[in-house]
Amino acid sequence: MKTIVNSWNEWDPLKHVILGRADGCCIPASEPAVDGKVPEDSDMRGKFGVRPKESIDRANELLENFSNLLKKRGIKVDRPTPLNFIQPISTPDWKTKSMFGTMPARDIILTVGKEMLEATMSYRCRWFEYLNYRPLLKKYYEEDPNMRHESAPKPRLTDKSFHMDYLSDKIGVQKRLEWTAKKFFVTTEEEPLFDAADVMRFGKDLMVQHGFTTNLKGIDWLRRHFPNHRVHALNFPGDPYPIHIDATFTAIKPGLIINNPNRRLPNEQREIFEKNDWKIIDAAQPAHNEPPPLCFSSVWLSMNILILDPKTVCVEKSEVYQAEQLSNLGMEVIEVDFRDVYPFGGGLHCSTTDVYREGKCEDYFPKQK
Ligand code: DAV
């Protein structure tokens, strides 16, 4: 079967997906955006280099199991081709000692309808990450005459793109919360920046988180790039390290969103959801008090679920409260053992990116004003 690229939202029946790999994944060297994001109390601080081999093997085993589970359900699964990440990279503007990896496919590639768009990214170590996906994107482009392969303007990522105030590991959570509430983030407005995982797709509407990895210029770029869509900027005070919308605000099906109760959408940004009869409910608590060792992300990867169709959802196996909530909402929950993949850049939603979901571009928010 030849590839067709088509995916407009997070819930229509999934038929073809890209799933990342843990091979050679590195803890990146110090650089402005990474230093701003790694939690101040993290065991990753001061470490650099390829992750321990046993942890890579274990994550790859879980990824392989997840791939088999999806295939058994009739979903086609493609995997990226990893580069050698432990080598210095540079542009005329900067050098850094390694790349990152190729686990969280969702961070890099944004699928909107027939288009797969390579995001700008904002970490220097992730500047070349799109290359891991090029063999697949090349194949899709050749097989599907309607596929659009796009790449956002590569950013310069000089020091001007970052607020150096964030370089310290002694800012403290209180100060960080004040700064993020004021929308003072690590990235500046020097140039458009966005990660694909800051975008949640709702057919004609794209909801985009303004935070550490996506700036307002990045959101404006998306708006101009997708003139047939409505692009909305959202932000979620309460998160000291705001990156990626998919552990904060997760659409379940038309009309229903779960929102991280520590990072609620402010009232003034709720209007469009209320007007169109979308319910935003608090997500269940995570089952863990701490992320696993050497992990970038918070315990809220509990919310990082992969929806296979509006009645079926993959949830991490230990996240019993999130599973219970979704099951009470009438969904069939598939448990997936995935916690040992979290340190490689995220959960079930992060590790995948859509190639094909059934369905077309619908307008779920007809009342805009
Ligand atoms: O809560 O640490 C993780 C999102 C990863 N894509 C968090 C956000």
List of domains in the chain = 14-357 (3.75.10.10)
- For the sheet with 352-357, list strands across it: 76-78, 14-19, 352-357
pLDDT surpasses 90 at 101: yes
Q: Among the residues of the chain, which ranges form H helices? A: 32-37, 53-72, 105-108, 134-143, 173-181, 216-225, 271-275, 320-328
Residues labelled as active-site residues: 195, 244, 350
Q: Answer whether 211 contacts ligand 1 (Cβ < 6 A).
A: no
CA angle 362, 80, 64 (to 5 degrees): 95
Nearest CA to ligand 1 atom 5: 346
227/214 Cα distance (integer angstroms): 19
Mean pLDDT score, 321-346: 98
Confidence at residue 168, expressed as pLDDT on a 0 to 100 scale: 83
Confidence of residue 57 (pLDDT cuts 50, 70, 90): very high
The preferred substitution site among 300, 344, 352 for testing ligand 1, maximizing ligand atoms within 8 Å of CB, is: 300
Predicted confidence (pLDDT) at residue 255 exceeds the cutoff of 90:
yes
Taking the C-alpha atoms of residue 328 and residue 249, their distance in angstroms, rounded to an integer, is: 19
CB of 297 closer than 6 angstroms to any ligand 1 atom: yes
**Mean pLDDT, rounded, for 341-367:** 98
Determine the pLDDT at residue 160: 98
Q: Which atom of ligand 1 is nearest to the CA of 104?
A: 6
Model confidence at 257: pLDDT above 90 = yes
Mean pLDDT within 246-271: 97
∠ CA 108-109-112 to the nearest 5 degrees?
145
Mean pLDDT, the chain, as a whole number? 97
pLDDT of residue 369: 78
Nearest CA owner, ligand 1 atom 2:
297
Residue 260 CB–ligand 1 contact under 6 Å: no
How far does the centroid of ligand 1 lie from the alpha carbon of residue 249, in Å? 11
Angle at 141 between CA 135 and CA 147, to 5 degrees: 135
For residue 89, list its beta bridge partners: 96
Whole-number Cα distances in Å, 342 to 31, 104, 331, 335: 22, 10, 24, 15
**pLDDT tens across 191-221, in order?**
999 999 999 999 999 999 999 999 999 999 9
Band of the pLDDT at 179, cuts 50, 70, 90? very high
Note the pLDDT tens digit of each residue in 1-54.
799 999 999 999 999 999 999 999 999 999 988 888 888 888 988 899 999 999
Ligand 1: which residue has its CA nearest to atom 1?
298
The pLDDT > 90 percentage for the chain reads 93
- Is the shortest distance between the CB of 39 and ligand 1 below 6 Å? no
Per-residue model confidence (pLDDT) at position 167: 87
